[in-house]
Amino acid sequence: MTTPSKFRNVPKTAQARILIKGGKVVNADHSFYSDVYIEDGTIRQVGKDLITPGGAKVIDAKGMLIIPGGIDTHTHMQMPFMGTVAVDDFYQGTKAALAGGTTMIIDHCLPSKGEPLMDAYEKWRGWADPKVCCDYSLHVGVTWWGDGVAEDITALCQEKGINSFKMFMAYKGIFMLKDDELYKSYSVIKENGALALMHAENGDVIEENTKKMKELGISGPEGHLQSRPEDVEKEAVNRSICIASQAQCPLYITKVMSKGSAEVISKARGEGKVVFGEPIAASLGTDGTHYFCKNWRHAAGHVMGPPLRPDPTTPGYLMDLLANGDLQVTGTDNCTFNADQKALGKDDFSQIPNGVNGVEDRMSVIWEKGVMTGKMDASRFVAVTSTNAAKIFNMYPRKGVIQVGADADVVIWDPVATRVISKDTHHQAVDFNIFEGMECHGVAVVTISQGRIVWEDGQLHVTQGAGRFIPRPLHAPEAYNKILIRDKVNQPIKIEREPYDGPIWTPDGPQAQKYVPKGAQSSPEEFNGQRGASSKSSGRDLHKSGFSLSGRQHDDTVPHRSTHKALAPPGGKSSIMF
């Protein structure tokens, strides 16, 4: 793995030694009052009344929580998309992340059609490495299927530290895969011990609905919502889980936006399927009523796929499921476009670049809507903002926990301080914020990334390119422990039996009959299996057998009748009806 040279040369300043005193450490499994000592990018000691080593900077954390830095599982920094490029790049986007208490992002490398996955990976590394201010990793998209894709998936797993691959059931003609391609992708991903990620929305239905909206003269952002109703998301979630489980591949549904899809995930988990669900800051913090706003820019600012849902009880419901374990992780899908970029779709909602902000505000929004409402405690907050992500993406316990030996990605969190979110004060490049005006309790007062203070007293102290690419090993226990055992115990069954040695039907044999659609006008001769022969010469007396000239069959009342197939098409060389 390459380590950016800038990081290797980071001098050992006073910040290389930090003692956090008097705070409460909150991990996903328990919390306790403790000091935390950090040196050279690693947590070295966790305990009461630690001695202050020479040269260490001491931070008084009384009344504060000491939590693992947030991990945003879903971002698209500077992504080329829908004819433009996301405005928050790897520099601005990761700076903003740090200001909000997120110390790692997992971004998306999405190859264009036909582009080798490995080439896309190298391109994204080239964009990210010189700019990132915090650690990062990449999900690689399987955005097309063809020669070399399977080999590249394997090479990315074996050589580049990629253990998660993203597929799309939407964005027809751009990223969307068909079901058989999904099955093939899942199979290769599973063989390698990686995780499949899914954008679940039915792209074919969206295309048809979009045409319908336009025919109805609906060209504004409300058309985006109405062309992608909740069922279109829910159906795809269900289908993707079904296909993944046929390939025995663990699955992660990105951006759970609706009650219906959350319930599908929850039910599948109840059935024992290995599937994870990721609601995002947007779906937990706001709703789709904004698409009906008279102000076009405001409505367009919320356009993303799948859309936010207009049922205003959706965010609270998703938070309930996140709190009780039906959903596990949170990301943001941060993919930001300014007003002039959104305006590419001013007369046609289907041309509005999809995407919203979140990377800076996720932690505060979840604290406000999850902890301050009493739905989850601080430990569950840590679980859903960092620990579960670290486990699912196989970075635990390097990330996602305050313990000796872990990376010193640490946040000092004030649980009662408040801040009001606004585009005017946020650190993102984008000129809009979907959480505008929201007052949140829960504020990152100090952010430590790789053992260095990068955010303190409302000021950023970042170095471009200081973030590292974090390679992730295969076979994450969180996803694969059960799967590997199931592979052994659930082998397909083969029955050894005597070979069948009776007669075998042939198209020209005595039993063959000609297919006639129900209700078609036909002479009795046409029902004779022997081409050109009369009914009398048929091996079967059709009048006596109950065979109907109208096409009715003796078993028409049998419920599974409709599943019978004509082995050869009507009018073909020989036809038969079963």
Chain contacts with Zn ion (rule: CB under 5 A) = 333
In degrees to the nearest 10, what's the CA dihedral of 63, 93, 124, 338? 150
Closest-CA residue to 370 (of 281, 275, 306) = 281
- Cβ 426 to Zn ion, closest distance in Å? 20
Q: Indicate which of ligand URP, Zn ion, none lies near residue 302 (CB less than 5 to 8 Å, by partner kind).
A: none
Under 8 Å between Cβ of 277 and 259: no
Q: Indicate which of ligand URP, Zn ion, none lies near residue 100 (CB less than 5 to 8 Å, by partner kind).
A: none
Q: Indicate which of ligand URP, Zn ion, none lies near residue 304 (CB less than 5 to 8 Å, by partner kind).
A: ligand URP
- Cβ 114 to ligand URP, closest distance in Å? 19
Helix, strand, coil % in the chain, rounded to nearest 5: 35, 20, 45
Q: Indicate which of Zn ion, ligand URP, none lies near residue 354 (CB less than 5 to 8 Å, by partner kind).
A: ligand URP
Closest-CA residue to 423 (of 414, 433, 435) = 433
In the complex with ligand URP, the residue whose CB is nearer, 117 or 335, is: 335
| CB-closest chain residue to Zn ion | 333
| CB-closest chain residue to ligand URP | 354
Under 8 Å between Cβ of 413 and 443: yes
In the complex with ligand URP, the residue whose CB is nearer, 81 or 381, is: 81
Q: Return residues touching ligand URP (CB under 6 A).
A: 76, 199, 304-305, 333, 335, 354-355
Q: Indicate which of Zn ion, ligand URP, none lies near residue 355 (CB less than 5 to 8 Å, by partner kind).
A: ligand URP
Q: Indicate which of Zn ion, ligand URP, none lies near residue 330 (CB less than 5 to 8 Å, by partner kind).
A: none
Q: Indicate which of ligand URP, Zn ion, none lies near residue 68 (CB less than 5 to 8 Å, by partner kind).
A: none
- Can you tell me the distance from the alpha carbon of 91 to that of 275, in angstroms, rounded to the nearest whole number? 32
Residue 278's Cβ-side half-sphere holds a number of Cα atoms within 13 Å equal to 28
- Can you tell me the distance from the alpha carbon of 83 to that of 104, in angstroms, rounded to the nearest whole number? 28
- Cβ 333 to Zn ion, closest distance in Å? 4
- Cβ 355 to ligand URP, closest distance in Å? 4
What is the phi-psi region of residue 265: left when phi exceeds 0, alpha when psi lies from -120 to 50, beta otherwise?
alpha
In the complex with ligand URP, the residue whose CB is nearer, 92 or 528, is: 92
Q: Indicate which of ligand URP, Zn ion, none lies near residue 362 (CB less than 5 to 8 Å, by partner kind).
A: none
Under 8 Å between Cβ of 360 and 99: yes
- Cβ 245 to ligand URP, closest distance in Å? 23
- Cβ 11 to ligand URP, closest distance in Å? 38
In the complex with Zn ion, the residue whose CB is nearer, 129 or 333, is: 333
In the complex with ligand URP, the residue whose CB is nearer, 336 or 575, is: 336
- Can you tell me the distance from the alpha carbon of 455 to that of 446, in angstroms, rounded to the nearest whole number? 5
In the complex with ligand URP, the residue whose CB is nearer, 224 or 468, is: 224
Q: Which two tokens stand for residue 250?
A: 């663990």
- Can you tell me the distance from the alpha carbon of 74 to that of 241, in angstroms, rounded to the nearest whole number? 20
Closest-CA residue to 241 (of 281, 268, 208) = 268
In the complex with ligand URP, the residue whose CB is nearer, 152 or 233, is: 233
- Can you tell me the distance from the alpha carbon of 533 to that of 462, in angstroms, rounded to the nearest whole number? 89
- Cβ 307 to ligand URP, closest distance in Å? 8
In the complex with ligand URP, the residue whose CB is nearer, 262 or 376, is: 262
- Measure the N-to-C terminal CA separation of the chain; round to a whole number of Å: 61
Omega prior to 471 cis, within 30 of 0: no
- Cβ 76 to Zn ion, closest distance in Å? 5
